[in-house]
Amino acid sequence: MNRDIKISMLSTLPPIKGISDYTLGLIQALSKKCEIDFYGFKSIYPEFLYPGSTKTNKKEPQINNVYIHNYLTWYNPLSWIKTGLTIKTKMLHVQSWSWILAPMFLVILSIVRLRKKIVIMTVHNIKPHERSIIRNFLNKCTFKLANKYIVHSNNNKKIFLKEYETNKKIYVVPMGIIEMEKSELSKNFLREKYGFNIKDNILLFWGNIREYKGLDILLKALAKIKDKKIKLIIAGKAWGNFKDYQNIIDQFNLKERIRLYLEFIPDKKLAEIIKLSDVCIFPYKKFEASSASLMASLHYRKPVIVTDVGGLSEVLENKNFVVKANDPIDLKEKIIKIFENPNKNYSENITEKFSWHNIINNLLKIYEC
């Protein structure tokens, strides 16, 4: 461990949702190299703003060399001020992913900067997923308070420079592979448990269902595929009304080929659903970020199909399974192609490239600059 480097970090950890799976992987690896004062949340959003609750049933982790202070609340500005005044290290690494947190972050980061500390900001979402003038403005105000930036892909760096026109240093550090619970049950057993045939070719669309993720495009692509053995699981909580998607399902008579799990999926069930599936699919329409769901799919060593937006395509070595965004015909063709030889899409090089070991080495260089 490098005892000369001590950092503070602002993000989320279980039981809060947020970006806790990512942060947990990050600090578990980083804590082997340096000490971390971690500042997190007791209550992060009003519950009505986050479908499916803001918390899971996971416990707060206990990690060597990580000192966790989870007392921030969205409704108490005194907790924001306390955080800004409490940070002792010379460096704060803040994870920025939601414009909703802007008021809180503006207070904390302003105090930290007034105290002459260095702010390194990992920008997970370059632009808000659902955009508006106010949301873009709040993001810009928050981002200006950082001394240095980290983004997860070269494409995101280009978008960030175009959007925010900064002269500050921007580093590209990929998102690591998100490690999640795995199922010990066999694939065939799980197929039977969930009512599928062993010979079915199963696509999986998982994660929160939001407009930008392109589920409507996927349903239209599926409708164009004649092979009835190709089926789709949709697993995740809908942000908004699922009615528009259901209308497409009804319009093209897709009911018998689709299984719906429209709720927050516990880790054990999610592990089973991913294992019984053949291909994970991410047909995003627009995306100036990196996908935790994609990186978790790689942990399960699943072949994936992604669109050519954000940093999604930079993850894959085989570009034959990168689809044009908003193009159901191209998506249909890629789905048919991947089932001809699904293993072509996965490479052991991906596991090494996005290992936390490599990512932490890159981060330490940034901290030392």
Q: Which of 155, 169, 84 is nearest to 369 (CA)?
A: 169
Among 122-136, 190-204, 284-298, top mean pLDDT goes to 190-204
Q: Which residue has the higher pLDDT, 179 or 254?
A: 254
Q: For residue range 224-246, list pLDDT tens digits in order.
A: 999 999 999 999 999 889 999 99
Per the CB < 8 A criterion, the answer to whether 227 and 201 are in contact is: yes
Task: Give the pLDDT of residue 348.
Answer: 55
Confidence bin at 305 (pLDDT 50/70/90):
very high
Rounded-to-integer distance, Cα 194 and Cα 174, Å: 35
- Mean pLDDT computed over every residue of the chain: 92
**Considering just the CA atoms, what is the radius of gyration of the chain in Å?**
21
pLDDT of residue 344: 57
The pLDDT score that the predictor gives to residue 27 is 97
Architecture of domain 6-176+355-368: 3-Layer(aba) Sandwich (3.40)
Architecture of the domain whose range is 187-352: 3-Layer(aba) Sandwich (3.40)
Rounded (10°) CA dihedral 331, 342, 125, 148: -130
Q: Are strands 35-43 and 258-261 parallel, antiparallel or unpaired?
A: unpaired
Please list the residue range(s) of the chain that carry CATH number 3.40.50.2000: 6-176+355-368, 187-352
Could you tell me the pLDDT band of residue 39, with boundaries at 50, 70 and 90?
very high
Instruction: Give 20's pLDDT tier (boundaries 50, 70, 90).
Output: very high
- The C-alpha torsion from 135 through 136 and 138 to 141, rounded to 10°, is 180
CA–CA separation, 294 vs 300, rounded Å? 10
What digits encode the pLDDT tens for the residues 272-296? Answer: 999 999 999 999 998 887 788 999 9
Query: Which pLDDT score, from 0 to 100, does residue 310 have?
Result: 83
* Residue 288 token pair: 């100036």
DSSP result, 70-121:
EEEETT-HHHHHHHHHH--SSEEEEEE--GGGHHHHHHHHHHHHHTT-EEEE
Q: What is the mean pLDDT of residues 142-151?
A: 98
Give the per-residue pLDDT at 54. 73
Q: What is the mean pLDDT of residues 160-167?
A: 93
Using a pLDDT cut of 90, give the percent of the chain over it: 77
**pLDDT for residue 330 is more than 90:** yes
| Amino acid letter, residue 122 | T
Q: Is 240 helix (H, G, I), strand (E, B) or coil?
A: coil
Residue 2's CB is within 10 A of a number of other CB atoms, namely 12
Question: Cα–Cα distance between 331 and 221 in angstroms, integer?
Answer: 6
Which tens digit of pLDDT belongs to each residue from 58-88? 889 999 999 999 999 999 999 999 999 999 9
pLDDT tops 80 at residue 49? no
Phi and psi of 4, rounded to 5°?
-80, -15
Please state the rounded mean pLDDT for residues 38-50.
Answer: 87
Q: Which of 94, 106, 98 is nearest to 141 (CA)?
A: 106
Q: From CA 145, how far away is CA 174, in angstroms rounded? A: 22
Lowest-pLDDT choice from 49-53, 97-101, 302-306: 49-53
pLDDT at 340: 85
6/35 Cα distance (integer angstroms): 5
Alpha carbons 347 and 335: distance in angstroms, whole number:
18
